[in-house]
Amino acid sequence: MTARLDASFAALSDATRRGVLEQLGRSDASITELADKFHMTLTGMKKHVGVLEHAGFVTTVKVGRVRTCKLGLRRLEEEAAWIESYRQLWAARFDALDGVVEELKRREKNDE
Amino acid sequence: MNDRTIVERKSERELVVTRTFNAPARIVFEAWTKPELMKLWWAPKSTGVPLLSCEMDVRSGGMYRLEFGHDAATSSSFFGKYIEVTPPSRLVWTNDESEDAAVTTVTFEEKDGQTLLVLHELYPSKEALDEAIIGMDEGMPEQFGQLDELLVTLSASV
């Protein structure tokens, strides 16, 4: 698993590759389109896509002479994981809020 | 008790957080609408980022501003406007720190002395919510901590 983590971090450590993921989040694109969009050579973009593919963030399908890139299954796992971390943030807030609410109830009772 | 808080993506544009509190709605509402009380719970210690300041003018059209961080130089702020304030049952505010941010509606529904709180976030588009989730924008460096956690979660599940 460490190898996969390393691959993930390496894949996301580059601004162009993050840009490619953002772009593919909007729509699928060919390597040529991505290269144009990011002002790169075809060879340079192929390398970036290769790194993203290796890390599971992107899948590619070659039809004829065109290789089309789309977001990998990884994205769904990421969404689930993000939602869980967001839930943990709210759970922590709400646990603290429980304490505030108890204090307010106690004060209200004392005022009666 | 951690699983009492539920988060669901209800649709392409909506995220919903629910939790029940053991208190009447007026009390829970009060804790959401007084800055001195918000300070006590909005930035719990476990998140690691303290709330530096909290200004809230809780009425329709009133503004709010929250500053998070360790000092003024590295702080980040969240701000917007209250659209609706209906004690003790409903609060609606905008999040104006980004064009792609959500409109937040919080409802407080009392039943048998308990309050069901529903926090509903409506994003302007599917892309805006996707982006908030995947976080592939300039916010990336700050979110590496979160990504770190995410990858640990993923690795645990593989």
ipTM exceeds 0.90, yes or no: no
What are the start-end ranges of the H helices in chain A?
2-12, 15-26, 31-37, 42-54, 74-111
Which residues of B are less than 8 Å from A78 in CB distance?
Answer: 133-134, 150, 154
> Residue A91 in contact with residue B4, Cβ under 8 Å?
yes
Distance of CA A41 to the CA centre of its chain: 25
Q: What is the pLDDT of residues A14-49, one digit of tens each?
A: 899 989 988 988 889 999 999 999 999 999 999 999
The 10 Å CB-count burial string (b at 16+, else e) for B4-41 is ebebebeeebebbbbbbbebbbebbbbbbbbbebbbbb
CB contact under 8 A, A81 and B40: no
Which residues of A are less than 8 Å from B10 in CB distance?
Answer: none
Q: Does domain B2-127 sit in CATH 3.30.530.20?
A: yes
> Residue A101 in contact with residue B27, Cβ under 8 Å?
yes
pTM to 2 decimal places: 0.66
**Which residue out of A101, A109, A112 would a mutagenesis test of the B interface target, given it has the greatest number of B Cβ atoms within 10 Å?**
A101
Interface size A-B, in CB pairs within 8 Å, comes to 116
Chain B residue with CA closest to A2: the answer is B155
> 3-class secondary structure for B25-80?
HHHHHHHHHCHHHHHHHCCCHHHCCCEEEEEECCCCCCEEEEEECCCHHHCEEEEE
Tell me how far apart the alpha carbons of residues B1 and B88 are, in angstroms, rounded to a whole number.
25
| CA distance to partner chain B, nearest, from residue A17 (Å) | 10
Per-residue pLDDT 10s for chain B (158 aa) are 446 899 999 988 999 999 999 999 999 999 999 999 999 999 888 777 888 899 999 999 999 999 988 877 778 889 999 999 999 999 999 999 888 899 999 999 999 999 999 999 999 998 888 888 865 433 334 444 555 555 555 555 54
**Domain extents in chain B:** 2-127
**Which residue out of A86, A102, A103 would a mutagenesis test of the B interface target, given it has the greatest number of B Cβ atoms within 10 Å?**
A86
Of A9, A88, A98, the CB nearest to B21: A98
Which residues of B are less than 8 Å from A102 in CB distance?
Answer: 23
Amino acid symbol at B75: S
